[in-house]
Structure 1
Amino acid sequence: MTQPRPEFLIDSWDFSAHPAQPLSDDLQHAEHRWFHIQRDLPGIERWLASNGIPAPLIDAVLEEDTRPRFERNNDGFLLILRGVNLTEGERPEDMLSLRILYYKGAIYSFRKRPVKSVGVIRERLQQQQGPESLHDLLITLIEEMNNRLEELLDVIEVEMEQLEDDETAGTTAERQRKLTLLHRRMLRLVRFVRPQLTAIERLATDGAKWLEQENVQWLVNERDAVQRELESLEMLLEQVWMLREHLQQEVAEKMNRNTYWLSVIAGVFLPISFLTGVFGINIGGMPGVESEGAFWTFCIALGAIAVVEFLLLRRLRFW
């Protein structure tokens, strides 16, 4: 009697022949098989244990919080990757975890939320245009995740160019806000891309134990792709710091310019304020109290003093 398909088993394929064939029954461990699993549903531990997966590996693939890493064991390896989050309404830089367990010639992949790179490969397999072997599947998974990351970096580069353009980026305060958000996005990416490079590099180093030479070379190419992506992120972060310093310098120059003009205005009005203060004293003996034209004479004198000060400051090159 055929056992019902487990709810947590999203997809399963047999790569023992080309093109790969979907598995609807006999869902047990065997070489050249790929099982794609929803890791947050019940019954996974029991099913993996029935397929001979050791308990430490089961704990590793079902652990909640992980970072990209590569771990070798006697019967294969565990590779944990992070991919761009392309779920609608989510932030792409909140990268999704994909755990890949290669054990005795079979691959088990585990997800919590849909990973677009895996979805692309599943569609190709359904159209009989997907990977030709299990090893090819592994390389294609890494390649597709790198492609999604490169697409995100292209978007970030465009945003960075807009921020560097004064005419399209808005006011300085708005550019500062956008720059801060972009900086946070890139820091989240670097947090996972750097250890992912190390994980793929270790897999490429040890890959000859499980993969064919051609697959190892493709893996080296994907490692180089991750290296370029990391270098692009680091370059973008340097651009962020440079633009941040430029904006801070603009703000400082504007403040210095405003302070300077306030100082000039205060300097012009200082003697005038002094004279108005002196002549505003209501005590006997003030000159011009009995004269009807004294007020206008005083105003003309204040205006003449202001003009002389203005010309003097201009001659001394205060601006």
Structure 2
Amino acid sequence: MNDPVADGLIHAFVIDDAGTINQLASDALDDWRGEQGTLWAHFDRSKPATGRWLRDRSGLDGMVREALLAEDTRPRVTIVGEGAVVILRGVNLNPGAQPDDMISLRMWVDRHRLLSMRFPKLAAVGDVRERLLAGDDLLTSGALLAGLAIAMTDRMAQVMANLRELLDDFEEQTVEGFRPSLLEALGPVRRQVIVLRRYLSPQRDALIQLTESTLTWLTQEDRARLREALDRTTRFVEDLDSLRDRFVYVQEEMMAWQSQQLNTTMYLLSIVSTVFLPLSFLTGVLGMNVAGLPGTEVWWAFGGVVIVMIAMALAEVGVLWWWGLIGRRG
């Protein structure tokens, strides 16, 4: 018997009308027939054997095979006869990965089978598999499809909650004042929001198309669960729009703090320059190495010049204070 992982097949289940679940080995997959029950076969898209099986033994149309094996895909639904190519995206919760690096789940669904493929591992698929083996009512291809859509929104809810919490922290820290590290930390999180929005918006459209499709094997219960996934996805898109606006506001507040600090620094430098410019002029004149400079032969000349410079500096500070430029306003 071939190793299911080595040849691209991760798992294959046949669910009959009585709810009995039988797991198929890879070498038994070709013997499956629709009258045996609903088939759910899940593949690793990165394995060359997956492409060979789809091409040689799946019986799928060439356009369908290309869609399932394409390198870069966006969420969409394409109706082909009594079946559909369904491509959805789920958050990447694998260790060391970023949630916004969303994983594409490509599926072919018809009345009797659901063929799904992913790379890398998608947690939502594992959730549905556990539910199936635990005895949940996932007896048809439509129920499996709806279950996968719901599981992907469940995982997405965790990521959305984390993003909202992060943004709340950013807003609290913004009130306390600007820190360069805060602005640096804001960039990657804002990128997550943008990327998630990029994929969830077409995913919402794909779910709308599924719920409104004329596929006869989708039951009312399946459509109701798909509408639930659609409602959640719509809410996620609206939340991401709100988060994006809030991130812009936080970033603008940080930039305003930074600009204010810069203006304060420039203002202080201007005050210092105003005070020392006349003194620099005086010392420049007295420092010229030419004949005729006063006081060069008088012992108290240096002390006198220092006293004059201190008096000038105090006078300038007094004038600046009187004008309200330092020490007071108004």
TM-score, normalised via structure 1 length: 0.90
Aligned mates of 1:98, 1:260 — CA distance in 2 = 57
Aligned mates of 2:50, 2:296 — CA distance in 1 = 102
Q: Secondary structure at the match of 1:109?
A: strand
Query: Following superposition of structure 1 onto structure 2, how do residues 172-187 of structure 1 map, counting pairs within 5 Å?
Result: 172-187=179-194
| Contact in 1 for aligned 2:183/2:251 (Cα 8 Å) | yes
Q: Secondary structure at the match of 2:71?
A: coil
Whether 1:301 aligns to 2:308 is yes
Q: Secondary structure at the match of 2:97?
A: coil
With over 3 angstroms needed to count, the CA separation of the structure-2 counterparts of 1:282 and 1:16, relative to structure 1, is same
What does residue 63 of structure 1 align with? 70
Q: CA deviation at 1:52?
A: 2.9
Q: CA deviation at 1:133?
A: 3.7
Q: Secondary structure at the match of 2:12?
A: strand
Q: CA deviation at 1:303?
A: 0.8
| Contact in 1 for aligned 2:107/2:117 (Cα 8 Å) | yes
| Contact in 2 for aligned 1:82/1:192 (Cα 8 Å) | yes
| Contact in 2 for aligned 1:20/1:125 (Cα 8 Å) | no
What does residue 157 of structure 1 align with? 164
| Contact in 1 for aligned 2:111/2:217 (Cα 8 Å) | no
Give the letter aligned to residue 246 of structure 2. Q
What does residue 16 of structure 1 align with? 16
What does residue 32 of structure 1 align with? 38
Aligned mates of 1:5, 1:255 — CA distance in 2 = 64
Give the letter aligned to residue 259 of structure 1. M
Q: For 1:228, which of 207, 231, 235 is the aligned residue?
A: 235
With over 3 angstroms needed to count, the CA separation of the structure-2 counterparts of 1:259 and 1:151, relative to structure 1, is same
Q: CA deviation at 1:115?
A: 1.0
With over 3 angstroms needed to count, the CA separation of the structure-2 counterparts of 1:239 and 1:18, relative to structure 1, is farther
Q: Secondary structure at the match of 1:64?
A: coil
What does residue 47 of structure 2 align with? 41
> Deviations along 1:178-231, whole A, 9 cap, x unmatched?
111112222221221111111111111116633112221221121111011111
> Deviations along 1:217-257, whole A, 9 cap, x unmatched?
22112111101111111111112211221111212111111
Q: Secondary structure at the match of 1:209?
A: coil
With over 3 angstroms needed to count, the CA separation of the structure-2 counterparts of 1:281 and 1:56, relative to structure 1, is closer
What does residue 291 of structure 2 align with? 284
With over 3 angstroms needed to count, the CA separation of the structure-2 counterparts of 1:169 and 1:90, relative to structure 1, is farther
Aligned mates of 2:194, 2:174 — CA distance in 1 = 27
Q: CA deviation at 1:169?
A: 9.1
- Between 1:35-44 and 1:225-234, the stretch displaced more is 35-44
Give the letter aligned to residue 280 of structure 1. G
What does residue 270 of structure 1 align with? 277
Q: Secondary structure at the match of 1:78?
A: strand
> Deviations along 1:75-97, whole A, 9 cap, x unmatched?
21111011111111222211111
- Between 1:43-52 and 1:155-164, the stretch displaced more is 43-52
What does residue 310 of structure 1 align with? 317
Q: CA deviation at 1:135?
A: 2.2
Aligned mates of 1:36, 1:169 — CA distance in 2 = 51
Q: CA deviation at 1:288?
A: 2.4
| Contact in 2 for aligned 1:15/1:132 (Cα 8 Å) | yes
Aligned mates of 2:146, 2:262 — CA distance in 1 = 55
Give the letter aligned to residue 109 of structure 1. S
Give the letter aligned to residue 13 of structure 2. W
| Contact in 2 for aligned 1:67/1:81 (Cα 8 Å) | yes
Uncovered stretches (5+) of structure 2, i.e. residues with no partner: none
Aligned residues between the structures: 317
| Contact in 1 for aligned 2:16/2:139 (Cα 8 Å) | no
What does residue 197 of structure 2 align with? 190
Percent of pairs identical after alignment? Answer: 30
Aligned mates of 1:188, 1:12 — CA distance in 2 = 32
Give the letter aligned to residue 153 of structure 1. M
Give the letter aligned to residue 16 of structure 1. D
What does residue 119 of structure 1 align with? 126
Query: How much is the aligned-residue C-alpha RMSD, in angstroms?
Result: 2.4
Q: CA deviation at 1:12?
A: 2.0
Give the letter aligned to residue 118 of structure 1. V
| Contact in 1 for aligned 2:111/2:141 (Cα 8 Å) | no
Aligned mates of 1:306, 1:44 — CA distance in 2 = 84
- Between 1:150-159 and 1:27-36, the stretch displaced more is 27-36
Q: Secondary structure at the match of 1:71?
A: strand
Give the letter aligned to residue 172 of structure 1. R
Aligned mates of 1:282, 1:137 — CA distance in 2 = 95
Q: Secondary structure at the match of 2:213?
A: helix
Whether 1:72 aligns to 2:79 is yes
TM-score, normalised via structure 2 length: 0.88
Q: Secondary structure at the match of 1:80?
A: strand
